[in-house]
Amino acid sequence: MRFETPTSVDQAVALLAADPEARVLAGGTDLLVRLRAGQVAPSVIIDIKRISEMTVISQEDGGWRIGAAVPSAEMNEHAALKADWPGVVEAADLIGSTQIQGRATLAGNLCNASPAADSVPAMVVAGALARIAGPNGTRDVAVQDIPSGVGKTSLGKGELVTSIYLPPKPAHSGDAYLRFIPRSEMDIAVVGCGVAVALDDQGKISAARVALGAVAPTVILSQSCADTLIGTTGDDAALDALAAAATAEAKPIDDKRGTIAFRKDVAGVLAKRAAKIAIARAKGEA
Amino acid sequence: MPKDEYQSRDFKVVGTRPIRPDGIDKVTGKARYGADITAPGMLWGAILRSPHAHARIRGIDTSKARAIKGVKAVITRDDFTYQPEDSDMADILDNCMAGETARYDGHAVAAVAATSKSIARAALAAIEVDYEVLPHVTDVDEAMKPGAPVIESGRQQENVPKGYSENVTGRSQYGHGDPEEGFKQADLVIKRSFKTAATHQGYIEPHACLATLGSDGQGDLWVCTQGHYMVRNVCAGVLGLDAGQLRVTASEIGGGFGGKTHVWMEPTALMLARKSGKPVKLMMSRDEVFRATGPTASSSVDVKIGMTKDGKITGAAATYRLQAGAYPGGIAFLSAMCGFAPYDLENVRTEGFEVMTNRPKAAAYRAPGAPMGAYPVESVIDELCQKLDLDPLDARLKNAAREGTKSSYGPTYPAIGLEATLKAAQSHPHWTAPLGPNQGRGVACGFWFNFGGDTCVSLMVNPDGTVSLSEGNPDIGGSRASMSMMAAEELGVPLDQVRTIIADTASLGQNEVTDGSRVTFAVGLATIKAARHAVEIMKERAAMTWGIDPEAVDWRDGAAHPAGPNAGKFPPMTIKEIAAIASNTGGPIAGHHEVNAEGAGVSFATHMVDTEVDPETGAVKVLRYTVFQDAGKAVHPDYVEGQFQGGAAQGIGWAINEEYIYGDDGRLQNAGFLDYRIPVASDLPMIEPVILEIPNPGHPYGVRGVGETSIVPPLAAIANSVSRAAGVRLTSLPMSPPKVLAALKAE
Amino acid sequence: MSRIHVTTTINNDETDYLCETDETLLDVLRDHLDLTGSKEGCGSGDCGACTVVVDGRLVCSCLMLAAEAEGRTIETIEGMAGGDALHPLQQKFLEHAALQCGICTPGILVAAKNLLERNPNPSEEEVRYWLAGNLCRCTGYDKIIRAVMDTAANTRGAA
């Protein structure tokens, strides 16, 4: 097993394209666990943390570009980013312990393609784009189009995600992400839910996005959930309708972390609670 | 039992809170635990484990592994040529290295020693095992049914009634009176069934050892264990060695809670060392700890209790079915003994069934059997109190065992502290603090026997008058501090004049493992007696110097004094002065004491907990927790409090989230700290410890063991709290959110 | 197999070592450099016993390849005390009896020190969440939290 430390995206792409058994190392919080368990045996590990453009958070066209090697702790310490997209930052902040925060990245969380990835529903409702570099150049793809199944991505040969772009925060908008775990920390989401809303001048919800995690092989961006909110003030009736829609949209499995019935119920509960926070943020109340 | 051991006195050192002597090493990273030692030429060992819950091993081909460069030894069961006659030893051998059959997911089938960890891993991957997968059973109730897959035939004891699978290996019965008559006198009788999941001790340090063993049968073993004498005796018994030729040294130990009172892999390390001719370091991964070392038993229990309107229990009965795992043994008999032990009952009967399953051999876990003994009983008592509108502390006080009570398991109690804990609970502000919506308060009592056992202590008075104390029990939570304190107390010297070490097996006589909360009691007792022995010698030396009778010498404040005016007028001789001239007065001065300590006082606790249940998700949050427990005498109150708090925290984990989860394939699905969810710092509130001191008549200072009782009440205390908060009785542990939410929705 | 040569700074000392690609920083600290104060409790980032600081950030050294450490600055428990003077946190852990078996203690001390450097006035809740990745099975955390809070209060008082 070789260890490579490219200093440019082009070098990384060349290394990745040259070897189908190569693996990209960002924070390593998933990769090293798999290595240790013998689940993966790459021929080469490509550490992207020496590529300077991938280690920074920068403002771009009113939005934010977050390098693929930026650890979530750095996002949490970035006041301006947090002010614009608190839901995304909070979701990233939920990934593992303080120690994991020092290493784990948004791009890694996305490309690991776990159904339970905390940051993914939050990024999806924020309308985040993943920038992909590959042998044929660079392209931007909606975050929800990256995971294609449990542990699988739509990335082609030689491609890697180099950054995540969070668009400009719309006026009178807010986002939130909540997950359910059995403990208060250190668990994988049993259910996750991201909600983003924008309000019109009358305080009615003019746009909404709702995404559910850990209730299907990949994240669910639910139009039926969003429709329950759009045109309403986010009143109790709308929230109850949202909860019912989220429960209906969830297609979970029974496993060691939860039952189908529990996950469907809690998807509704979290949707309602996350929506309340997102609406309050849109109103500038939180 | 020596009832006259306890004597009231004013303590100078005992009861204070000095800094522990091993503290600096432990806060600077210098302390050496099981995996922290190396030896010249050392090899790395690794163990191959069965992926099947139950399989016949048709053959093992190790040729490819042996061919890998750097592989120095590959062993299977065939290499263990000595066959122990003793059935317990034979079972331990079979558990360490499977013979014809792999009995559980994680059962060792082969092992290697190599020049690096990665070569050892590669060698494991190159071993080919031909398995014939057999039907398996991992559930205790299923395993009892006739027709269930049988783990091992021919192990059933004669006391098991007909109609059960051979997996039921033993049955025990306790009690007195006639519960059926008792139920007739009751105003309300409740019968319920309960389940608890298997939980692991969850010590943070995985098992680790470093072994050497020559062809002459001489060996050395460095190991993290709760009992290095036990490790020596078992390894010798399993491998056919002479115990005297095997020296075992206990490392610092990173938690045990009963799980390190057993041997899981040390004979394997010794065999690898013998085959390779090199020292071998063998460490378990966390996955191996969960799959191959013993959790405690899961349980299935029926309880029936009758109570009068004014809270008197008139009849009580319980049946406990506990899974013992892949080998005979089990602790259902302890559940059956402990369940009703806090109460003074006229009519009580319990029975316990020990059941083999395709799981790792169940191990001791802090008061083994007692938590699942108490949980169903305390739950039903709480429900009776709810339905009869009784105060749950009053009702328990009404039935509380006290001095002279004939216990439900047989003996009559001497002075005990249950009432004191209940009264302390009643008068504590926690009991009357207001509760918010969706919140509930639960209380429960718990009992543990405590234990004494074989103990040796040696106390040396050094030429400069300082004191070296050798004991033979690994220090699992501050016992070197408490031994030094008791020695200093007895000798009348400053604490910093005493240093306590844990001797290896060649340096001190036999010592029982660190179990049964025995160390502060039994090793403390032997320490006090060893100090008294040394004092007697020092009194003789002073008498000789003064030319008076030793009977005319008193010992106080670390010095010999003439006993009175008639003894003569001499200035006191300090320990330092006596030590300085010891060579001229008869030679070095040392005291020692060897004993099978009896008189360990039983201990009781009452726990009180507030929880809040999220009615929409079933999540349980622990808001406030108070422990009331009798310590007899708290030698070092900080570490007594630590035992109270730690036991409560483990009980909270057991009650709410911890469980072994098996798939239909019989494989353990959560062999890691991610999905085996022990409490993290943000899960818990402060845990308030309230120490009661009702002296144990069987110890000179009144000490009782404190380590285990604290895990007995939490399961029921939390279940009672959650049941009151949720308005529905929860009868299955853990009370994980899906279970609680399902119960709420069923209401 | 050719090994990777890594030069790094550990506890203020320039250190170099050879490692294989699949060796973790924890493997190298413990097996090659004899810095056994960092413990392996799980090997999967779930227990925190191997916690070290890399370039100012807490990481689980079991979840970092040794090869990644090139040019980095690493602090371990062995570097916490200054000579024979204990760090205030170490002293408070002793005074509060905030350890029983002590296996989690190095990781918790390293994590707590990093917290107090970032936040000298943490609430109890902040301490509990910051340390949620450091499992302790003995203490129920009570005395650990008190020791950290007391250290913070003392340090503020002295400042």
Give the model confidence (pLDDT) of A180-223 as tens digits: 999 999 999 999 999 999 999 999 999 999 999 999 999 999 99
Domain assignment present for residue B241? The answer is: yes
Query: Are the CB atoms for B630 and B603 separated by under 8 Å?
Result: yes
Question: What residues are paired with B393 via a beta bridge?
Answer: none
- Which residue is associated with the tokens 């280690």? A55
Quote the CA–CA distance of B261 and B264 in Å, as a whole number. Answer: 10
Give me chain B's average pLDDT, please. Answer: 97
Quote the CA–CA distance of A155 and B580 in Å, as a whole number. Answer: 81
A186 touches chain C (CB under 8 A): yes
Nearest to C137 among B33, B253, B255 (CB): B255
Contact A96 C70 (CB under 8 A): no
- Topology of domain C88-158, CATH: DNA polymerase; domain 1 (1.10.150)
* % pLDDT > 90, chain A: 99
Which of the other chains make 3 or more beta carbon contacts under 8 angstroms with chain C? A, B
Q: Is B702 left (phi over 0), alpha (psi -120 to 50) or beta?
A: left
Phi and psi for C9 in degrees, rounded to 5? -115, 120
In C, minimum Cα distance to A3 occurs at: C21
Phi and psi for B365 in degrees, rounded to 5? -140, 110
Running DSSP on this structure, what letter comes out for residue B346?
S
Domain assignment present for residue B359? The answer is: yes
Sort out which chain A residues have CB atoms less than 8 A from B736's CB and list them: 182
H or E element, residue A4:
strand A2-4
| B200-243 residue pLDDT tens | 999 999 999 999 999 999 999 999 999 999 999 999 999 999 99
Strands A63-67 and A57-60 come out as antiparallel
Gap from B584 CA to chain C (nearest CA, Å)? 40
**Residue to substitute from B611, B613, B664, B675, interface A, most A β-carbons within 10 A:** B675
Predicted local confidence at residue C72, as pLDDT:
98
CATH fold match for the domains A2-166 and A173-282: no
Q: Is 60 exceeded by the pLDDT of residue A105?
A: yes
Same domain, B566 and B609: no
Sort out which chain A residues have CB atoms less than 8 A from B742's CB and list them: 259, 261-262
- pLDDT confidence band for B1 (50 / 70 / 90): very low
Gap from C98 CA to chain B (nearest CA, Å)? 8
Q: How many CB atoms lie within 10 A of CB B78?
A: 11
A103 touches chain C (CB under 8 A): yes
A202 closest CA partner among A243, A241, A231: A231
Nearest to A256 among B661, B679, B741 (CB): B661
Half-sphere exposure of B289 (CA within 13 A, CB side): 25
| B150-159 residue pLDDT tens | 999 999 999 9
Domain assignment present for residue B193? The answer is: no
Average pLDDT (A245-274) is 97
Let me know if domain A2-166 sits in CATH 3.30.465.10: yes
Predicted local confidence at residue C159, as pLDDT:
65
Phi and psi for B19 in degrees, rounded to 5? -70, 140
Same domain, B65 and B123: yes
Phi and psi for A139 in degrees, rounded to 5? -145, 155
Sort out which chain A residues have CB atoms less than 8 A from C115's CB and list them: 98
Query: Are the CB atoms for B587 and B537 separated by under 8 Å?
Result: no
Sort out which chain B residues have CB atoms less than 8 A from A38's CB and list them: 121, 125
Cβ within 8 Å of residue B584, ≥6 positions away: none
Which of the other chains make 3 or more beta carbon contacts under 8 angstroms with chain A? B, C
Predicted local confidence at residue C1, as pLDDT:
56
| B661-698 residue pLDDT tens | 999 999 999 999 999 999 999 999 999 999 999 999 99
- Interface TM-score (ipTM) > 0.90: yes
User: What is the Cα B537 distance to its own chain's centre?
Assistant: 37
| A119-130 residue pLDDT tens | 999 999 999 999
Gap from C102 CA to chain B (nearest CA, Å)? 6
- pLDDT confidence band for C151 (50 / 70 / 90): very high
The tokens of B301 are what?
């229990």
Same domain, B322 and B356: yes
Running DSSP on this structure, what letter comes out for residue B149?
P
Sort out which chain A residues have CB atoms less than 8 A from C4's CB and list them: 3
C111 touches chain A (CB under 8 A): yes
Same domain, B101 and B59: yes
A29 touches chain C (CB under 8 A): yes
Nearest to A29 among C22, C24, C45 (CB): C45
Same domain, B130 and B217: yes
| A143-190 residue pLDDT tens | 999 999 999 999 999 999 999 999 999 999 999 999 999 999 999 999
Helix and strand numbers (H, E) in chain A are 11, 14
Sort out which chain A residues have CB atoms less than 8 A from C76's CB and list them: none
Predicted local confidence at residue B184, as pLDDT:
98
Query: Are the CB atoms for B347 and B371 separated by under 8 Å?
Result: no
| B166-202 residue pLDDT tens | 999 999 999 999 999 999 999 999 999 999 999 999 9
Query: What ranges do the domains of chain A cover?
Result: 2-166, 173-282
Half-sphere exposure of B481 (CA within 13 A, CB side): 26
A5 touches chain C (CB under 8 A): yes
| B88-101 residue pLDDT tens | 999 999 999 999 99
Query: Are the CB atoms for C146 and B687 separated by under 8 Å?
Result: no
The tokens of B231 are what?
């490790």
- Which residue is associated with the tokens 């949707």? A271
Contact B674 A265 (CB under 8 A): no
Running DSSP on this structure, what letter comes out for residue B600?
P
Predicted local confidence at residue B3, as pLDDT:
52
Same domain, B727 and B691: yes
Which of the other chains make 3 or more beta carbon contacts under 8 angstroms with chain B? A, C
Three-state SS at B79:
helix
Q: How many CB atoms lie within 10 A of CB A137?
A: 8
Helix and strand numbers (H, E) in chain C are 5, 5
CA-based angle A137:A142:A144, to the nearest 5? 125
| B305-330 residue pLDDT tens | 999 999 999 999 999 999 999 999 99
Contact C90 B286 (CB under 8 A): no
Three-state SS at B330:
coil
Cα–Cα distances (Å) from B351 to B142, B170, B373, B408, C60, in that order, read: 19, 10, 11, 12, 48
Sort out which chain C residues have CB atoms less than 8 A from B476's CB and list them: 100-101
The tokens of B379 are what?
């739950």
Domain assignment present for residue B38? The answer is: no
- CATH superfamily, domain at A173-282: CO dehydrogenase flavoprotein, C-terminal domain (3.30.390.50)
Strand B188-196's sheet: what is its strand order? B168-176, B348-356, B313-325, B299-307, B188-196
Q: Which of B597, B612, B629 is the last residue of a domain?
A: B597
Query: Are the CB atoms for A242 and A210 separated by under 8 Å?
Result: yes
Cis status, amide bond into B734, omega within 30 of 0: yes
In A, minimum Cα distance to B679 occurs at: A183
Nearest to C68 among A33, A47, A102 (CB): A47
In B, minimum Cα distance to A96 occurs at: B674
Half-sphere exposure of B250 (CA within 13 A, CB side): 31
Predicted local confidence at residue C156, as pLDDT:
87
Nearest to A256 among B617, B656, B670 (CB): B670
For C:54-93, CB contacts with A below 8 A are 54, 57-60, 62-65, 67-68, 70
Phi and psi for A93 in degrees, rounded to 5? -70, -20
**Residue to substitute from C47, C63, C130, C131, interface A, most A β-carbons within 10 A:** C63
- Topology of domain C4-79, CATH: Ubiquitin-like (UB roll) (3.10.20)
A25 touches chain C (CB under 8 A): yes
Q: What percent helix, strand, coil does chain B show, rounded to 5?
A: 30, 25, 45
Quote the CA–CA distance of B144 and B161 in Å, as a whole number. Answer: 12
- Which residue is associated with the tokens 């005291």? B591
Question: What residues are paired with B502 via a beta bridge?
Answer: B471
CB-based burial label for B576 (10 Å; 0-12, 13-18, 19+): middle
For A:49-88, CB contacts with C below 8 A are 49, 71, 73
Quote the CA–CA distance of A48 and A25 in Å, as a whole number. Answer: 6
- pLDDT confidence band for B566 (50 / 70 / 90): confident
The tokens of B288 are what?
């191996």
Same domain, B303 and B415: yes
Instruction: Identify the domain containing residue B543 by its residue range.
Output: 23-31+452-597
| CATH at residue B439 | 3.30.365.10
Cβ within 8 Å of residue B63, ≥6 positions away: none
Sort out which chain A residues have CB atoms less than 8 A from B616's CB and list them: 265-266, 269
